Amino acid sequence: MFTDLDGSLLDHDNYDYSPAIPTLQRLKRHNIPLILCTSKTRTEIIAMQQRLEIVQPAAVENGAAVIIPTGYFARRPSGAFIESGNWIKRFGKKREEILSKLKQLGHDFPGCFRSFTAMGVAGIAEDSGLSLEGAQFANSREYTEPLLWLDTDEKKQRFINQALRQGLRVHQGGRYLHLSGAGDKGEAMRWLVEEYSKANSAWSQVSIALGDAQNDVPMLDAANYSIVIRSASNPLPRLNRRHNTVISAEIGPVGWNFCLSHLLDELGVPA
Ligand SMILES: [Mg+2]
């Protein structure tokens, strides 16, 4: 099963996941893989997996890449390379490629934005309110570049159009504009389901996705069962499907726990 973190498994404000512990333990008891699919970086995800005490694949930076612990499947998936004890399948562009395209865009939009790279760790900490360590984690990006827009919305739209023509994808986050190459959470999920199926895993039969925001739609649309987690901070994402879909009554990890445990009951997973 595939889940978003912020606002889904984790509380939007304090990152608490304790309401979800009963169902997290049930997944562990029955060896159901818990696959984190988030906009966070590899460094941030590995820290989160250690907190959850799981050794599983995960999709990083909004699906720009999938990381799999080496040896998780009997064979290394085709197209995956090895780095720091993980197999990595990359869908997007490397950050350096994005930065070189951004440099060209900078000539046409001088002074209109500041990228994370231009801000540096201290600048990111100052702008975002993160600690220096948090800023360092957030800046440890491999496949995406966030930037702070400093000019008008009209100019921003022209910038976005030009970035799209250069083959970049642009996603407006809460504070920053995120530039990436290819890949989304849906693509990462489909690829992993295929790998489970090649490995003859029972888990290739049923996919479940949980998420709370628009960037979760590609995976919520593609899963066999989808659980939309209600959010206090953003409107419900608009899915292109209705079958096998529920919307939680409660927000964050409380809704996550309730809806997933109910679905596991329906699917006949023992308590
Ligand atoms: Mg979220």
Which is the catalytic residue, given 4, 6, 184, 212?
4
What percent of the chain is predicted at pLDDT more than 70? 98
- Residue 96 corresponds to which tokens in the numbers above? 């350096």
Same domain, 189 and 259: yes
Alpha-carbon distances, residue 254 vs 21, 51, 192, 250, 261 (angstroms): 10, 19, 27, 6, 11
* DSSP 8-state secondary structure symbol assigned to residue 43: H
pLDDT at 168: 93
Q: Which of 192, 186, 167 is nearest to 240 (CA)?
A: 186
Gap between the Cα atoms of 265 and 260, Å rounded: 9
- Name the maximum alpha-carbon separation found in the chain: 59
Same domain, 203 and 232: yes
User: From its phi and psi, is residue 162 left (phi > 0), alpha (psi between -120 and 50) or beta?
Assistant: alpha
Ligand 1 center–CA 136 separation, angstroms:
21
pLDDT tens per residue across span 118-153: 999 999 999 988 899 989 988 999 999 999 999 999
Same domain, 43 and 103: no
User: For the residues 225-243, what does the mean pLDDT come to?
Assistant: 92
DSSP 108-126: HSTTSEEEHHHHHHHHHHH
Helix, coil or strand: residue 198: helix
Q: Is 265 a catalytic residue?
A: no
Ligand 1 center–CA 234 separation, angstroms:
9
User: Domain limits at 117?
Assistant: 95-180
Please state, rounded to an integer, the average pLDDT across all residues of the chain: 93
Total domains in the chain come to: 2
On whether residue 12 sits in a domain, the answer given is: yes
Final residue of a domain: which of 130, 160, 180? Answer: 180
- Residue 229 corresponds to which tokens in the numbers above? 């987690």
pLDDT at 203: 66
Same domain, 47 and 176: no
pLDDT tens per residue across span 129-138: 889 998 998 8
CATH number of the domain to which 124 belongs: 3.30.980.20
Same domain, 165 and 191: no
pLDDT at 14: 84
Question: pLDDT tier at 262 (50, 70, 90 boundaries)?
Answer: very high
Same domain, 84 and 114: no
Q: Which residue has the higher pLDDT, 209 or 84?
A: 209
Gap between the Cα atoms of 64 and 182, Å rounded: 6
Strands 225-230 and 208-211: parallel
Ligand 1 center–CA 216 separation, angstroms:
7
- Residue 115 corresponds to which tokens in the numbers above? 């990228």
Gap between the Cα atoms of 201 and 270, Å rounded: 19
Contact 89, 66 (CB under 8 A): yes
Ligand 1 center–CA 4 separation, angstroms:
6
Final residue of a domain: which of 150, 180, 210? Answer: 180
On whether residue 271 sits in a domain, the answer given is: no
CATH number of the domain to which 231 belongs: 3.40.50.1000
**For residue 15, how far is the Cα from the chain centroid?**
15
Q: Which of 185, 197, 178, 219 is nearest to 60 (CA)?
A: 185
Q: Is residue 174 predicted with pLDDT exceeding 80?
A: no
Final residue of a domain: which of 153, 180, 207? Answer: 180
Q: Is residue 204 predicted with pLDDT exceeding 80?
A: no
pLDDT at 172: 74
